[in-house]
Amino acid sequence: MTQPATAPTVAAEAAGDRSAATLVLQDVTLEVGDGEGKVRALDGVDLQVHPGELVAIIGPSGAGKSSLLAVAGALAAPTSGSVRVLDQDLGPLWERGGQSALARFRRERLGYVFQSGNLLPALTAADQLRLAYRIAHKRGRARSFDPQPLLDAVGMGHRAGSRPGQLSGGERQRVSIARALVNEPAVLLVDEPTAALDRARSQDVVALLAEQCHERGVAGVMVTHDHDVLARCDRVLEMVDGRLSPASA
Amino acid sequence: MFLAVRELTHARGRFGLMGVVIALIAVLMVMLSGLSGGLVNDGVSGLKNLPVTAFAFDEGTKTDNAFSRSVVDGEQLAAWRDQPDVEAATPIGVAIVNAVTDDGTQIDLTVFGVEEDSFLAPTPSDGSGLGAPAGIVVSETLRSEGVELGTVVTLDQTETELEVVGFTQGQATFGHVDVAYAPLATWRLITLGDAPAGAAPTEADLAGVDADHASAIALQAVPGSALASGDTDAVAAADAAAGTTTMTLVESFNASPGYQAETLTLAMIQWFLYAIGALVVGAFFTVWTIQRGHELAVLRAMGASARYLVRDGLTQAGILLVTFTAVGVAVGLGLGALMPEGMPFSLEAGPIAVASVVTILLGLAGAAVAVLRVTRIEPVTALGGAR
C-alpha cells in the first residue's frame, strides 16, 4: 500500500489535527431498528478525511461500512455524535428536519459514486453529467455547461454519446466518477466501486478515483471489499462491528 | 423536462403503448361527444332554434314531457303579457303525430302550432311561410324522406290532409321527430279532433274552433330584465300571478321526450371514460415510478429535490397526455366524418375542446397521485446493500 507523504496518518488524527480536515466524524453512533431488533451499526466512530486524500474502509458484510457512508453523506442522521463537512455541522440540518436543506447540502458539497455506477439508462454519458449539473445548479446556467472536459478527464470523452447499456462496467464507473465531480464536491463518497469489475478494471477505476481526489483536492471515502485495490488508496481503515480502526497489515 | 423528454424517447415502446391507450380513450371521447351532440340536436334542435327566453307551462307540470302534458289558456297568456319583464309572449302548441305522405311513406311529425304573426313563426329557407289553414313548414331533414314542396301529408286516425308549403333552414326536430310548423288554430283543430277527415282544413273549419288553449307560453324577456337574467324570485312571482311553471329555454330541453335520460346516460359513459383514463394513466405512472425507484433514490441522493422529480414526472405525463389526446382527437374527427348520414352524430369544437381538457387534466391528476410517490423515496436506498 502506498502512503503519500501528504496524506495524514491515523496518529495525526489522534493528535487532534482536525482543522485541516474536510470531513470530520466525531464519536458517531448510529442505531437502526426498534426494540429487540435494534442494532448499533456505528459505535463511536471517529474519522477525519483531508483534502486530496482517498480513504478506504474495509470490513466484512454488515460491519457498518455503508452506514458510515450514509451518515457521512447526509443520507442518515447519526443517533449521536457529530458530522462536519468543511466545518459545517450537519446536526442542525437534521434537527430542523429539512429534507430540502439536506438535499441542497448534498448537491452543493457532496459527490457520490454508487455500486455499478447506477447511471440512468435513458441518458448518454454526456447527459448524465448535464443532469447532475442541472440538479446542482440553477437551470438557467445549465445551457453553458460543457461535460466534455470532465469526460476527457476520466478517459470517457470518446463515449460521450453512449448510453449505460452500451458501456462496459469499468466505463460506467468512469462516467459515474465524472458525474460525481460535476458539482465540484468537497467530499466524494464511493460505495463498492469495483463490485462488478474484473481485477484490471478495478485497479484502473480506483487509480482514477485517487487521481481525481488528489488533483481536485477532494476528500474521498471509499467503502470496498476488494483488497486488491487498497494500494491505490492513501489510507485504509477497517470497520468491525461498527467500530473503525486502522487496518491491520 | 430534461430527464422527462429523454426518458420518453428512450422508453418509447412503453410510452408508445401507453400513448395508444390514451389515444383510444380520446377517440372514444370524440365519438361520445359526437353522439351526444347528435342526440341533443335530434332531441331539441327544434327548440334550440327558437328565439325564446323561457317557456311557461301550466302550474305544477312535471318536467318530463312537459310540452305534451301541459295545457295553458288565454288567461295565463294574458297574465304573462302583463308582466313588465316580458317583451313578447305567444302560445305554442306541441303534438307528436303519425302521418303518411302522398307517396305512401310513413313519417312522424312534431306539430308546432304557432301564431303566424308571432316571433315563433318560422322563416322558411325554401317555399312560403305559414298562412293557409292546411299549410305547414317542415324541417329540411324531411327531404330525405322524399318530402317536397307541395307534398300532401295525411295524419293517421283523423286523416286530415296538410300540405308542405315551406322548409326550415337546417334541422328542426323535437324528441327525435321532425318538426312541422302549423297555424295555431290548425293545431287546435287537430288536437281537439275537429279536423275534417279526408280533407284539408279550411278557413271555415278554423273559424268554428272555440278554444284558446296551447301547450305552453313562449316568452321573450326585455333585455337586462330580471326574467332575462333568470332571477328566480322574479320568475316565481310572475308564475304565481299567471298560474304557471316557467323553465328557461335550456331547462325546457329536459321536457323533450327522452332527452334527460339520453343525455344523462351519455354523460355518465363520458365520465366513466374520464375516470378510466385517469386510472389507466395513474396505474402506468405508478408502475413506472416503482420500476425507477432505485434511479430516483440515486437522484435524490445526488441532491435532486422531490419537487424537481415530481415536476419532471408530471411534465412527462403532460407531454404524453397532450400528444396522444391530440392524436386521438384527430383520429376521432376522421372517424366522425365517416359516420352514416342518418346517424345522430354532430361534432362541435366546444364540447370536444372541453372533453380533451378534462381528459388531460384528469389524466394528470391520476399521474400526480402516482408521481407523488417520489416524495416517499428515501435517498439512502441508493447505497448498495440492504439497510
- The residue among A209, A198, A199 whose CA lies nearest residue A233 is A209
CB-closest option in B2, B295, B384 to A115: B384
* Contact between A63 and A54 (Cβ < 8 Å): no
Cα of B47 to nearest chain A Cα, Å: 57
* Residue A242 predicted with pLDDT over 80: yes
Residue A99 domain boundaries: 10-118+185-246
pLDDT above 90: percentage of residues in chain A: 46
DSSP reduced 3-state for B172: coil
On average, the pLDDT of chain B sits at 89
Note the Cα B94 to chain centre separation in Å.
20
A127 near B CB under 8 A: yes
Query: Which pLDDT value is given to residue A100?
Result: 83
Residue A161 belongs to some domain of the structure: no
pLDDT 10s digits, B3-20: 899 999 999 999 999 999
Q: For the full predicted model, state whether its pTM sits above 0.80.
A: no
Lowest mean pLDDT among A16-20, A80-84, B185-189, B244-248: A16-20
Distance from C-alpha of B316 to C-alpha of B301, rounded to nearest angstrom: 22
Measured CA to CA, the distance from residue B141 to residue B158 in angstroms comes to 25
Q: CB under 8 Å to A219, separation ≥6 — which residues?
A: A21, A22, A23, A49, A50, A51, A52, A53, A55, A186, A187, A188, A213
Structural domain contains residue A127: no
As a whole number, mean pLDDT of residues B315-343 equals 91
Asked if residue A72 is part of any domain, the answer here is: yes
Coil, helix or strand at residue B155: strand
Enter the DSSP assignment of B140: G
Question: Do residues A129 and A95 touch, judged by C-beta distance below 8 A?
Answer: no
Considering only A112-126, A140-154, B3-17, B215-229, which range has the smallest mean pLDDT? A140-154
* Mean pLDDT, rounded, for B307-331: 93
Q: Determine the angle formed by the axes of helices B349-371 and B306-337, rounding to 10 degrees.
A: 150
Question: How many separate domains does chain A show?
Answer: 1
Question: Which pLDDT tens digit goes with each residue over A166-205?
Answer: 998 889 989 999 999 998 999 999 998 888 788 888 888 8
Strand partners, B258: none
Residue A70 lies in a domain: yes
CA distance B125 to A38: 89
Cβ pair B344, B41 in contact under 8 A: yes
Q: What pLDDT, in 10s, does the model give residues B65-107?
A: 788 889 999 999 999 999 998 999 999 999 999 999 988 999 9
A180 inside domain: no
User: Above pLDDT 70, what percent of chain B?
Assistant: 99
What value does the mean pLDDT of chain A take? 85
Cβ–Cβ under 8 Å, residues A225 and A192 = yes
Place of cell 452506514: A67
**Greatest pairwise CA separation for chain B in angstroms:** 102
ipTM > 0.90, yes or no: no
Q: What is the Cα–Cα distance from B378 to B387, expressed in whole angstroms?
A: 11
C-alpha B135 chain-centroid distance:
30
**What pLDDT is recorded for position B122?**
93
Task: For cell 337586462, name the residue.
Answer: B224
Q: Residue A206 falls within a domain, yes or no?
A: yes
**Which residues of B are less than 8 Å from A191 in CB distance?**
383-384
Distance of CA B229 to the CA centre of its chain: 22
Question: How do the residues of chain A divide into helix, strand and coil, expressed in percent and rounded to 5?
Answer: 40, 25, 35
Residue A249, pLDDT score: 57
Q: Is A69 on the interface with B (CB under 8 A)?
A: yes
Q: In terms of residues, how long is chain A?
A: 249
pLDDT digits (tens, 9 = 90+) for A38-92: 888 899 999 999 999 999 999 988 888 989 999 999 999 999 999 999 989 988 8
Distance CA A185, CA B119 (A): 81
The cell 408508445 sits on which residue? Answer: B16
Given an 8 Å threshold on Cβ–Cβ distance, is B303 in contact with A107? Answer: yes
Q: Can you give the CATH number for the domain in which A227 is found?
A: 3.40.50.300
DSSP state of A150: H
Q: Are A142 and A134 in contact (CB under 8 A)?
A: yes
pLDDT at position B92, please? 96
| pLDDT tens per residue across span B103-123 | 899 999 999 999 999 999 999
Q: What is the pLDDT of residues B150-186, one digit of tens each?
A: 999 999 878 899 999 999 988 899 988 999 999 999 9
> Domain for residue A167, yes or no?
no
pLDDT band at A18 (very low <50, low <70, confident <90, very high): very low
- What is residue A138's predicted lDDT score, i.e. its pLDDT? 60
Nearest to B10 among A32, A106, A122 (CB): A122
| Beta strand extents in chain A (DSSP E only) | 23-32, 39-49, 54-58, 80-85, 88-89, 110-113, 187-191, 219-223, 235-240, 243-246
| CA distance, residue A174 to nearest chain B CA (Å) | 17
Provide the pLDDT for residue B261: 87
Nearest-by-CA chain B residue for A100: B305
Ramachandran quadrant class, A192 (left: phi over 0; alpha: psi -120 to 50; beta: rest): left
Burial class from Cβ neighbours inside 10 Å (0-12, 13-18, 19+) for residue B5 reads middle
The pLDDT of residue A15 is 37
Residues of B in contact with A130 (CB under 8 A): 2
Cell numbers describing residue A104: 441542497
pLDDT of residue B235: 86
Q: Would an 8 Å CB–CB cutoff place B337 in contact with chain A? A: no
Asked if A195's CB is within 8 angstroms of B384's CB, the reply is yes
Cα dihedral sign, A150-A152-A157-A163: negative
User: Is residue A97 pLDDT above 70, yes or no?
Assistant: no
* Distance between CA atoms of residues A129 and B383, nearest Å: 19
Q: Strand B177-183 and strand B173-174: pairing?
A: antiparallel
